[in-house]
Each structure stands twice: as C-alpha cells, then as structure tokens.
Amino acid sequence: MASPRFKLPKEGYKQRISVVSIGATRRDGGTRDKSYRIGGENTPAFHYFDGFKACHPVISEDVFDIPIHLPGNVRHCFGDAMEDPRDWARLRVKKYAAKMITLHLVSTDPKVGNTSIAEACKTIEDVLQAVKVPLIIGGSGNPDKDPELLSKAAEVCSGESVVLSSVGPDMNYRQVAEAAVKHDQSLVSLISMNPDEMRRFNRNLMKLGVKPSNIIMDLFTGGIGYGVEYSISAMERCRLLGLQGDPFLSLPIASATSNAWSAREAWMHNEEWGPRELRGPLWESSTASMALLSGADLFMMLHPFAVDCLESLFDALFKPGDLYSTHSPYSMWVEG
C-alpha cells in the first residue's frame, strides 16, 4: 500500500501590497543616481511555501540637521561630520555606502532651535546637492510647525520623489497631503500600534487624493524590551488585513528601528551586559530583524554596524535557492 502523500494547502490572499517608488533618477525627471521600490508582497513576510514575492526592503540612514545627543559609540562613527548635515550625509554615503538618507529637521521645533522654514528648506537643498541618493524628509515632531515644513519640503523637492515623514491625525495633515499630491511625493502615515486607527487615517488621506502608491505606514517600532511585541502584533495584523483585501492597509510598512536606542540596555555601561560597542548595534539590528519578519519594508536606522547586520539578513532571506526556497523539501526543517 502506497504511503499517503501530504499536499501542502496554500493560503489564498486577495490583494497584493501596493508598491511605493522612492527617489527619481534623471530618466524620471529627478537628479538621484538610483531609485527604489518597496512593497509588492503577495503573502506574509517570507512565506515562500505560499509563493512569496516582494520588492527588496530598503534601509534609510539617519542624519540630523544639528548635532543631537547620541550614545558615544554612535557619535564615534561620525565625529565632526555631525556638525553639518551635508558632511554627515556625505559620510553616510561615501564611507558607509548608505542607499538612502533620512534628514531629520529637528532644529525647526520651537522648543529646540525654532529654525525658520526658509532655513530648513535651504538645508534640504544643500543635502540634495551633497548626495545623490533618495531622501526621506523628516520633521521635528511638532504638530504645529511640521505641516508647513513638510508642505514646503514637498515643493522644494519637486521631481525628486522624496518621502515626507511623517503625518498623523493630531496635525493639519490635509495641508501636507495636498502638497504631496501636487508635487507627487510620498507620505509616512504615523499611528502608534493601532491598526483600526491606521485604517481610518489612511482612508482620510486617500479621500484627499493621496494614492496607495504614495503612502507608507509607520505603526511605531518599540525596541526589544520596550514594546517591540506590540509593534510586531500591529505590523502583522495590518499586513494580514491588507493581504485579505483591506484597501486602506494594503500598504508598505516603515520601521524606525533607531528607536531601539532609547533602551538603556543599548547604551548603558554595565560590564555584565557585555561591551556597549557591540550591544547597542545588536539591539538595533535585532529590533529591525523582528520588524522585517513582521512585514516591514522600509527601515530608518542609526548605527552603521546595525545596518550591516540587517543587510546581511536581507541577503540570506532573498538569496535564491536557500533553505526557504519553494524547492526545498519540508523534511529539511525536521531533519536539520
């Protein structure tokens, strides 16, 4: 009598995740040397047994418009370049091979430097000239000033296909959305770990004319030991609902894994915990790894070593013919 054969059931998903393009080359009417596409998943992350396909994830590396307080082992990587965002961006690209830069305009916050919108836009223009990788333009987090700042940034960066980060329901997001539509820029919609609120907010953005191909969701990323389990749950829920047909959640996911540095374990001196020079970057890269496996497509990161670790994971998971290939017998999972 022939042994029964097990046929793996395949989950049928109704909808693919939308694809967002970041950066415009000269062919596209911009000045960037390269552009990237994120999203496009047809199954949950790396479900190769269901025929997983997706655009390659991308990492954007943090640059701030003024020197800010950072752990010593982070500052050591950048030195005096932190004094000027142009130099910092150049160092990121030339020394650390950054594929994308997130320019955080933190000095515009009235409680920090209250830098004018005009001066902030000059900084944006300087960084656009200094490096030719795609940009994410980040505000200060001030809900009163960010709408004007991000709207003007959309105009200054017209033709460059930048990402404006971020908009939320506690600010005049209509102003930013209208500017993004006018200048064909993308937005990061920020809702903290609440898929229901994310759905409502994305629906409101789409009513204003923002296309799904111009929205990236940020459900907030808590570091390991500091809320990452809630982030994982929110990301996975949004991804599953999007694949099942929810048009307001079938969008790429962003993960600001530099938030992991808020964990004291990442930077505090404690000999029993091991050297901070390794512990901090590993804390960030491990947080990023969890976000990747939960469906994140775009990563905003701080430490170069953490970036290298995540890039290595990308290589392993996207390498053709590896253990996770659809051609691999499932007995390998059991037999080792």
> Domain ranges in the chain?
26-316
Q: What is the pLDDT of residues 204-226, one digit of tens each?
A: 999 999 999 999 999 999 988 88
Closest by alpha carbon to 102, among 60, 165, 58? 60
- Alpha-carbon gap, residue 58 to 64, rounded angstroms: 19
The pLDDT of residue 330 is 41
**Could you report the per-residue pLDDT of 113-169, keeping only the tens digit for each?**
999 999 999 999 999 999 999 999 999 999 999 999 999 999 999 999 999 999 999
Neighbours of 207 (CB within 10 A): 10
Q: pLDDT-derived band of residue 7, with 50, 70 and 90 as boundaries?
A: confident
**CA 304 – CA 278 distance, rounded (Å):** 11
Which residue, 27, 38, 3, 36, is CA-closest to 296?
Answer: 38
- How much is the pLDDT for 150? 98
Query: Rounded to an integer, what distance in angstroms lies between the CA atom of residue 60 and that of residue 117?
Result: 23
Whole-angstrom CA distances from 286 to 289, 293, 327 are 5, 11, 28
pLDDT value of position 325: 46
**Do the Cβ atoms of 139 and 166 come closer than 8 Å?**
yes
CB atoms within 10 A of CB 174: 15
pTM, 2 dp: 0.91
Q: Is the pLDDT at 326 greater than 70, yes or no?
A: no
Q: What is the reported pLDDT for 321?
A: 53
What whole-number distance in Å separates Cα of residue 154 and Cα of residue 132? 17
226 and 234 Cβ atoms separated by less than 8 Å: no
Is 174:207 a contact under the CB 8 Å cutoff?
A: no
Number of H-type helices and E-type strands within the chain:
11, 10
Domain range 26-316, CATH architecture: Alpha-Beta Barrel (3.20)
pLDDT for residue 248 is more than 90: yes
CA angle 264, 93, 37 (to 5 degrees): 90
Q: Confidence band (pLDDT; 50, 70, 90) for 331?
A: very low
Nearest C-alpha neighbor of 258 from the set 211, 216, 318, 307: 307
CA distance 302 to 257: 8
